Structure 1
Amino acid sequence: MQPIRTEISDTRFRDVLGHYCSGVAVITAIDGGEPVGFACQSFQALSLEPPMVTFAAARTSTTWPRIQGAGRFAANVLAEGQDALCRQFAVSGGDKFAGVDWRAGRTGSPLLTGALAWVDCEITDVLEGGDHVIVVGRVADLAADGRTGPLLFFRGRFGVLADGAC
């Protein structure tokens, strides 16, 4: 079967998919004794048995190879009010952990203080996905703090749930 030919511009793609509201996570790991991480809105559950999650990392990311080398990661789901923290982890270069409180999880990956939830994982697969790679992780440990709502991303901006719950 021949692939369907498409002529979809990057702008149109971003505009249309921007209408899908997502949560925001910071993917973290330890590389050479140093904490590393990046902001990610493509984090999700994959499997209950065994418990697995997935996220996508841009091939151009300089942080992703360091996380891949660590072989493990934590996905820190950001809470409402943590948009500045997200922006700090969204930039390239610099010390993304400057002023950030964290503790090591079961795998050693950084768990960010104040995150709404965290999922600590070992990398099991890395799959091809166009200009990204799709990372699959088996869950080693996880926890949630239901004290507040999630930080959301919609149409290029951060937001929160109106009443803190669905």
Structure 2
Amino acid sequence: MSAAANPALERPRSEIEDLRAALGQFATGVAIVTTRAPDGRSVGLTVNSFASVSLEPPLVLWSLSKRSSSLEAFRVAPSVAIHVLSAEQEALARRFASPSADRFAGLHRGIGPAGVPLLEGCVARFICTPYARTEAGDHLVFILRVERWARAAGPALVFHAGRFCGMGQDAAPPAAPERGVDFTRAPRPGIVPH
């Protein structure tokens, strides 16, 4: 649709920034989405667009700018992992939000289905396969079917008004195993890759 056909596309930059600030008043969780590109590279980025969609079937969604250099890797990915970050993982969130060439350098990680990199220490992780996707303005929305999941005890990282902050410990649910796998033997509370 052209700008002439849709006056909303002609909004001044200041109005767009004001809208961004208003939307920023909605506190969100922070997640890192990872996959393996067709050339074998590990690909990952920080998002706050993660949301649950359905329990039956188990569906989640996230969105990515159509201008992202990672778009094609996620568009063709047979499997992705979504890591909900703990309040202690702000540095990791910033690392995966930066334009770094290798965001995975030096990180201890596991390997999931289709070679998907699995990060440690998060409060929840979802292993997903594609279900649907749709274009929405300047973003592509990925709807994914959750195949496996796990959660760990601890407060989650939150993004509000352009800043990271932690969620209170009393709001965090207790840990639960991933589909019958006992995570209580892990050396640190968190999700253990396997």
Give me the TM-score of the superposition, normalised by structure 1: 0.90
Q: 1:100 aligns with which of 103, 107, 110?
A: 107
- Give the stretch that moved more between structures: 61-70 or 21-30: 61-70
Letter paired with 1:19 = Q
Q: Which moved more, 1:26-35 or 1:42-51?
A: 26-35
- Report matched runs for 1:124-163 at 5 Å: 124-146=131-153, 148-163=154-169
Return 90-99 or 46-55, whichever deviates more. 90-99
Contact 1:107 1:121 in 2 (8 A): no
Match of 2:52 among 28, 45, 62: 45
Q: Distance in 2 between matches of 1:145 and 1:67?
A: 26
Q: Counterpart of 1:19? A: 25
Higher helix share: 2
Q: How far apart, in 1, do the equivalents of 2:74 and 2:63 lie?
A: 12
Q: Which amino acid aligns with 1:16?
A: A
Deviation readout 1:52-98 (Å, 9 max, x if unpaired): 11001011111121122222211110000111101111122410101
- Distance in 2, matches of 1:93 and 1:70, equals 21
Number of residues paired by the alignment? 163
| AA at the equivalent of 1:58 | S
User: CA contact under 8 A between 2:44 and 2:103: conserved in structure 1?
Assistant: yes
List, as ranges, runs of 4+ consecutive aligned residues in structure 1 with deviation greater than 6 Å. none
Q: Cα 1:140–1:108, aligned 2, differ >3 Å: closer, same or farther?
A: farther
Distance 2:20 2:60 in 1: 24
Aligned Cα root-mean-square deviation (Å): 1.8
Q: Equivalent residue of 2:164, what SS? A: strand
1:69 corresponds to which residue? 76
Residue 93 of structure 2 is aligned to residue 81 of structure 1: no
- Provide structure 1 residue ranges, at least 5 long, that are not aligned to the other structure: none
In structure 2, runs of 5+ residues without a counterpart are 173-194
Offset at residue 105 of structure 1 (A): 2.3
CA contact (8 A) 1:28 1:109 kept: yes
CA deviation vs aligned residue, 1:100-151 (integer Å, no higher than 9, x gap): 22112245322211111100001121101101010011111110111x1000
Give the TM-score of the pair, scaled to structure 2: 0.78
Which structure has greater strand proportion?
A: 1
Q: 1:138 to 1:162 in 2, by over 3 A?
A: closer
Q: Work out which of the residue numbers 30, 38, 42 in structure 1 matches 2:36.
A: 30
